[in-house]
Amino acid sequence: PAAGRGRGRRVTLALLGTWLAAVGAGDLVRAAYDVVSPRRAAVCIAAGLGVLLAGLLLLDLDAARLVLLLVLLGSLQAVWLLGSVLAVGPDRTGPWRDRARSLALLALGGGTVAAVLGAALLTTEPTLPTRLAGTVLGRWPLSDVLVASGVVLAQLATANVVVRLVLDAVGVPATSNEKQLKGGRVLGPMERLFIVGLGAVGELTAAAVVIAAKGLLRFPELQRAQQRLPPAGPSDVTEYFLVGSFASWLVALGGAALIHLA
């Protein structure tokens, strides 16, 4: 029974890692573009589908199950990308922005659930192809490789989009506040990668030091922003920093937990 549970966990994490890698690849193509043209959106979706197909082929599915997962997860990846593009676009306001944000987050969560449940379609534990077994990738199980790839790709651009959606939802949009706390789009992925790497190897204390260092380095800017306003509570910039940082840390810690589980 224990061996069966271990195999089931690895299979589930392998498919979840494949889904995250597809979403991360699609978002990485659009990078920091707030305004995404239909052509670039099509390229982003194609990149995500390509990564998703490659991952599913590694999982050694039969044709029918492969097509089913490709259509289901690919559709959710496209909905996430298009919904988030509409939600963060500067030309979208009011109810349309809220609906697009809700749709994007539902697609992201739905894809995660579909990947977890879809693991039941995998009948055998995934293994690396023979031609890759002699490479450096052969040192780890395929599930570990897929999970690590998915988590890392998700930290680069997808997490930035998630943080922006959370900030918009609580009323401190990044589009205005990031002008005062610059570098967040670059520092965020770097910080998350540090936390994921340190957390994955069990160095949570070192990860906490990284988090504390960010607060210390940002404190002078937060203080200057607060001094420019009347003493009536925290400024939008302070809330932007706190909410954005906690959302970013949660994404990073979730990724570290997935790698640790694998």
Angle at 70 between CA 200 and CA 36, to 5 degrees: 80
- 99 within 8 A of 38, measured Cβ to Cβ: no
Taking Cα atoms as reference points, which of 6, 13, 8 lies closest to residue 259?
13
**Does position 220 have pLDDT exceeding 70, yes or no?**
no
179 or 96, greater pLDDT? 96
Taking Cα atoms as reference points, which of 104, 101, 140, 201 lies closest to residue 17?
140
Residue with tokens 């659930």: 113
| C-alpha span between 158 and 153 (Å, rounded) | 8
pLDDT digit string, tens, across residues 131-177: 666 666 667 778 888 899 999 999 998 998 998 898 888 877 665 55
Residue 208 binned pLDDT confidence (cut-offs 50, 70, 90): confident
Angle at 33 between CA 27 and CA 39, to 5 degrees: 75
pLDDT digit string, tens, across residues 75-105: 999 999 999 988 887 665 667 788 889 999 9
- Per-residue pLDDT, 231: 47
The angle that helices 184-200 and 159-170 make with each other, rounded to 10 degrees, is: 120
**Lowest-pLDDT choice from 132-141, 206-215, 253-262:** 132-141
**Torsion sign, CA atoms 227, 233, 237, 243:** positive
The residue-averaged pLDDT of 121-128 equals 73
The length of the chain is 262
What values do phi and psi take at 167, rounded to 5?
Answer: -60, -40
**Does position 247 have pLDDT exceeding 70, yes or no?**
yes
